[in-house]
Amino acid sequence: MRIEIEDLHIAYAGRTVVAGARLVAAEGEITGLVGPNGSGKSTLLRTVYRHLRPIAGRVLLDGTDIRAMAPARSARHVAALPQERGDDFELTVREVVAMGRTPYKRAFSGEDATDRDIVSRALADVGMGDHAGRRFTALSGGERQRVLLARAFAQNPDVLVLDEPTNHLDVRHQVELLSLLREQRRTTLVSLHDLNAAASVCDRLHVLHDGTVVASGSPREVLTPALMAEVFGVRAAVVDHPLTGDPLIAFDHRTAVGPGPADAVEKTRTGA
Ligand SMILES: Nc1ncnc2c1ncn2[C@@H]1O[C@H](COP(=O)(O)OP(=O)(O)OP(=O)(O)O)[C@@H](O)[C@H]1O
């Protein structure tokens, strides 16, 4: 399935934080959303998985406005790994992953053998098969992350919406998760802070800045030294990765350039 985001405006308590965002996540591709802190990535993703209602604009799923679909129907198509990581689940790991089957269930109907198989496979896919009986709240941040990803897989969605899925993961688990996403070939819309991970895993990237998409294209087209300076306020060179040939962004961790993103936002607000 394909996602189209059309002229989306989203506000919290009257303050607009996404203003006219447009992008397409093509069928079977990994589409990345990158941008500085506070640029609106999570807010935009929350609208795609229907946690937030936009004040204007639409999210289309193969041409149909998701808000015109019954919630259970859109939940069979779109699964999310939200930034809110369910700290309050007094459930076992297996029970958390089984929540992914809810859109397929009638009220009060229990788990059947198919559900159990899907849940077991999802747990195995994220390497948490041996932890099924543990309490979710007793897991580490990275383990919780993987369980919530398994919950999204168990939903068997056409579209995955992932907000910072590599957050909390050690480098090995980051690599495993990103290669799992590539193998699955589902339509995936993912926010990532790690621009080098984004460059290697995403087919296309969209850069959000102050709530609008300021650049779109392949990682090589988008992640230029000029964009790194303008949007992220850092100096960087872009070279070829010696092992993979992907664009590799070498940051200058010693010197920021010009006003940083926070100052830029402040300037916009004050009209300076
Ligand atoms: N629940 C909320 N209520 C009010 N304002 C919010 C809420 N969530 C986010 N915001 C504000 O909306 C703006 C965009 O936030 P958002 O979390 O979408 O950005 P982000 O790009 O995902 O940031 P980060 O990289 O820090 O995760 C920020 O100014 C933030 O303070």
* pLDDT score for 83: 84
* pLDDT score for 133: 94
Question: Rounded to 5 degrees, what angle do the CA atoms 151, 101, 109 make?
Answer: 145
* Domains of the chain (ranges, CATH numbers): 3-270 (3.40.50.300)
* pLDDT score for 208: 97
CB 128 within 8 A of CB 119: no
46 Cα: distance to centroid of ligand 1 (angstroms): 11
Q: For the chain, give the mean pLDDT.
A: 90
User: Quick check: CB of 42 below 6 Å from ligand 1?
Assistant: yes
Residue 138, pLDDT > 60, answer yes
pLDDT band at 141 (very low <50, low <70, confident <90, very high): confident
User: Quick check: CB of 52 below 6 Å from ligand 1?
Assistant: no
Q: Which of 66-70, 88-92, 220-224, 263-267 has the lowest mean pLDDT?
A: 263-267
Comparing 198 with 173, the larger pLDDT belongs to 198
Considering only CA atoms, which residue is closest to atom 25 of ligand 1? 37
* Tens-digit pLDDT profile for residues 67-76: 999 988 888 8
Phi and psi for 10 in degrees, rounded to 5? -135, 140
40 Cα: distance to centroid of ligand 1 (angstroms): 6
42 Cα: distance to centroid of ligand 1 (angstroms): 7
Residue 210, pLDDT > 70, answer yes
Q: Which atom of ligand 1 is nearest to the CA of 46?
A: 18
User: Quick check: CB of 74 below 6 Å from ligand 1?
Assistant: no
Q: Which of 34, 41, 210, 269 to mutate to test the pocket of ligand 1 (most atoms within 8 A of CB)?
A: 41
Residue 272, pLDDT > 50, answer no
Residue 182, pLDDT > 60, answer yes
* pLDDT score for 136: 93
For the segment 154-159, the average pLDDT, to the nearest whole number, is: 94
* pLDDT score for 87: 67
**CA distances (Å), 135 to each of 143, 145, 173, 181, 220, in order?**
11, 14, 21, 26, 43
Q: Which of 8, 15, 16, 39 to mutate to test the pocket of ligand 1 (most atoms within 8 A of CB)?
A: 39
Q: Which atom of ligand 1 is nearest to the CA of 40?
A: 18
pLDDT band at 112 (very low <50, low <70, confident <90, very high): confident
Q: Which residues contact 44 (CB under 8 A, 6 or more apart)?
A: 5, 8, 10, 18, 21, 33, 208
| Residue % of the chain over a pLDDT of 90 | 74
* pLDDT score for 269: 40
Q: Which ipTM score applies to this complex?
A: 0.98
Residue 263, pLDDT > 60, answer no
5 Cα: distance to centroid of ligand 1 (angstroms): 19
Sheet order of strands, 159-163 included = 78-81, 159-163, 187-191, 30-34, 204-209, 212-217
* pLDDT score for 108: 64
* pLDDT score for 107: 65
* Tens-digit pLDDT profile for residues 4-58: 999 999 999 999 999 999 999 999 999 999 999 999 999 999 999 999 999 999 9
* pLDDT score for 93: 95
pLDDT band at 218 (very low <50, low <70, confident <90, very high): very high
User: Quick check: CB of 38 below 6 Å from ligand 1?
Assistant: yes
* pLDDT score for 271: 40
Helix (H) / strand (E) containing 154: helix 141-154
> Quick count: other Cβ atoms within 10 Å of Cβ 200?
19
In one-letter notation, the amino acid at residue 83 is Q
Residue 261, pLDDT > 80, answer no
Considering only CA atoms, which residue is closest to atom 24 of ligand 1? 37
Considering only CA atoms, which residue is closest to atom 28 of ligand 1? 38
Closest CA to 111 of 154, 146, 51, 145: 154
Gap between the Cα atoms of 146 and 142, Å rounded: 6
> Quick count: other Cβ atoms within 10 Å of Cβ 87?
8
